[in-house]
């Protein structure tokens, strides 16, 4: 498994970038599998390419080999993730590359899955196929931050979406909040939801807005072919309802897609739709001598369900609780060009942050205009 057999050329970068572009086509359909693209090149020309579309179906390498046919013999494979070496829902891709007669493999990154973790490249080496890895590694990792984190820590990658005025307010004193941000920003939130495996919210948010918490696919313009239309899915909606206040007549339950109600105790008063599951999780005592769901245990539970990317869309209390406990990886903040006043509701509540030394620090990684609003993407510093 040598990494420096030769210097990467401009053409190598070009073909790997093409593989990354292909991988993005599976952005909304591959979960819980990683997004992967593959390009097969022979005599400087692409002879086959493909991407992983859906768990249980052909991996990127399989689709590229099918396109190349006999032209795969003697080709170089550019793949955004190390070819798998184990039997899962499909046979190992490393074996497929060997049987096709591929002569050289360049992987953008080593697979963090313990079942692979370098074994795919070792399998290639044992078959006499040279390989390299590390080309455009950061770009490849960015495709699958949730998959990588789940495989290395046992927890999902958590984003927290917030929307506020320039003075950091989320609603007026009377609760009015529709709409603080522009239609373009709200459409961008739909994309955030679509790339997530699960959305976490609290009962307060659901009851206040009678929210559905679903993806409105018609707004995204990504359903360009029949395959995408058939295979996009709604993220699992995870609602923390410790006081058992939700009822089946809410708009949340009109969308027939999975819902998990997180509760202290399971109740059987209501007749819930078949797609609703009630889950009881451990309770922890806070410093204010209050009892709340163990949020770390919640994320562990979601990771065991292979929910790699989680989006928090909630009120200030729940968002602040996740942030205060260092359970959020990334903040996505939309700020509208409005000033809403001192009596308005604040962005997040973190009761135990009492001094500047306790403040949560972030690194802004993206800053741009979305419609008339500012979108800030920032990662929390460890």
Is 60 annotated as ligand-binding? Answer: no
68 is in an annotated binding site: no
Extended beta strands in 186-337, E state: 198-202, 236-240, 259-263, 276-280, 283-285, 291-293, 309-312, 330-336
**C-beta neighbour count of 278 within 10 angstroms:** 17
- Contacts for 254-257: CB closer than 8 Å, 24+ residues apart: 254/212, 255/212, 255/214, 257/214, 257/233
Structure token pair of residue 382: 């460890």
> Does the annotation place 93 within a ligand binding site?
yes
Residue (of 239, 275, 238) closest to 254 by Cα position: 275
Q: Which of 49, 61, 82, 330 is catalytic?
A: 61
146 annotated binding-site participant = no
Spatial distance between the Cα atoms of 321 and 102, rounded to a whole number of angstroms: 51
User: Strands 373-380 and 362-370: what pairing?
Assistant: antiparallel
Asked if 380 and 330 touch (Cβ cutoff 8 Å), the reply is yes
Q: Flag whether 38 is marked binding.
A: no
Q: How far apart are CA 14 and CA 9, in angstroms?
A: 9
* 179 annotated ligand binder: yes
Q: Choose among 82, 102, 130: nearest CA to 41.
A: 102
Cis bond upstream, residue 32 (ω within 30): yes
Establish whether 315 is an annotated binding residue.
yes
Q: Coil, helix or strand for 112?
A: coil
Tell whether residue 251 is among the known ligand binding residues: no
Residue 300, annotated as binding a ligand: no
The rounded distance, in Å, linking the Cα atoms of 241 and 259 is: 12
> Annotated binding residue at 317?
yes
- The reply, when asked if residue 319 is annotated as ligand binding, is yes
163 is in an annotated binding site: yes
Give backbone dihedrals phi and psi of 190, rounded to 5 degrees, phi first: -60, -40
Radius of gyration from C-alpha coordinates of the chain: 23
CA–CA gap between residue 162 and residue 333 (Å, rounded): 5
> Is 176 among the catalytic positions?
no
Q: What is the 3-state secondary structure (H, E, C) of 36-78?
A: CEEEEEECCEEEEEEECCCCCCCCHHHHHHHHHHHHHCCCEEE
Q: Is residue 55 marked as binding?
A: no
- Which stretches within 60-167 are classed as H helix? 60-68, 93-100, 119-126, 137-143, 145-153
Q: Is 84 annotated as a binding residue?
A: yes
| Residues contributing to the annotated binding site for substrate | 177, 193, 216, 313
Active site residues: 61
| Residues contributing to the annotated binding site for Zn(2+) | 59, 84, 93
| Residues contributing to the annotated binding site for NADP(+) | 163, 179, 209, 242, 315-321
| Residues contributing to the annotated binding site | 59, 84, 93, 163, 177, 179, 193, 209, 216, 242, 313, 315-321
């Amino acid at each position: 498994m040598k990494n420096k057999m030769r210097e990467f050329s401009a053409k190598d970068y070009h073909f790997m970038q093409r593989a990354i572009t292909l991988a993005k086509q599976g952005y909304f359909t591959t979960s819980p599998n990683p997004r992967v693209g593959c390009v097969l090149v022979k005599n400087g020309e692409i002879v086959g390419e493909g991407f992983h579309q859906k768990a249980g179906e052909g991996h990127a390498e399989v689709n590229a080999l099918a396109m190349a046919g006999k032209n795969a013999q003697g080709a170089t494979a550019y793949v955004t993730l190390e070819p798998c070496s184990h039997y899962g829902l499909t046979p190992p891709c490393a074996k497929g590359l060997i049987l096709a007669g591929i002569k050289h493999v360049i992987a953008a990154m080593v697979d963090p899955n313990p079942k692979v973790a370098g074994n795919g490249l070792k399998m290639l080496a044992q078959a006499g196929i040279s390989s390299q890895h590390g080309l455009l590694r950061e770009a490849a990792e960015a495709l699958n931050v949730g998959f990588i984190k789940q495989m290395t820590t046992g927890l999902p990658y958590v984003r927290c979406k917030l929307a506020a005025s320039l003075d950091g307010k989320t609603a007026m004193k009377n609760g009015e909040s529709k709409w603080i941000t522009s239609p373009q920003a709200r459409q961008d939130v739909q994309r955030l939801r679509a790339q997530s495996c699960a959305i976490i919210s609290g009962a307060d948010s659901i009851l206040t807005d009678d929210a559905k918490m679903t993806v409105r696919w018609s707004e995204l313009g990504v359903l360009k072919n029949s395959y995408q239309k058939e295979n996009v899915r709604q993220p699992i909606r995870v609602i923390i309802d410790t006081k058992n206040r939700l009822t089946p007549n809410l708009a949340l339950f009109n969308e027939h897609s999975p819902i998990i109600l997180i509760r202290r105790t399971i109740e059987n008063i209501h007749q819930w739709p078949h797609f609703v599951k009630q889950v009881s999780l451990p309770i922890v005592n806070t410093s204010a001598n209050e009892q709340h769901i163990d949020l770390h245990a919640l994320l562990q539970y979601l990771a065991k369900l292979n929910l790699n990317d989680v989006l928090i869309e909630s009120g200030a209390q729940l968002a602040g609780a996740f942030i205060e406990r260092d359970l959020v990886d990334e903040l996505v903040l939309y700020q509208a060009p409005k000033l809403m006043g001192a009596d308005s509701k604040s962005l997040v509540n973190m009761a135990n942050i009492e001094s500047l030394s306790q403040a949560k620090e972030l690194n802004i990684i993206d800053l741009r205009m979305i419609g008339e609003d500012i979108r800030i993407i920032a990662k929390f510093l460890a």
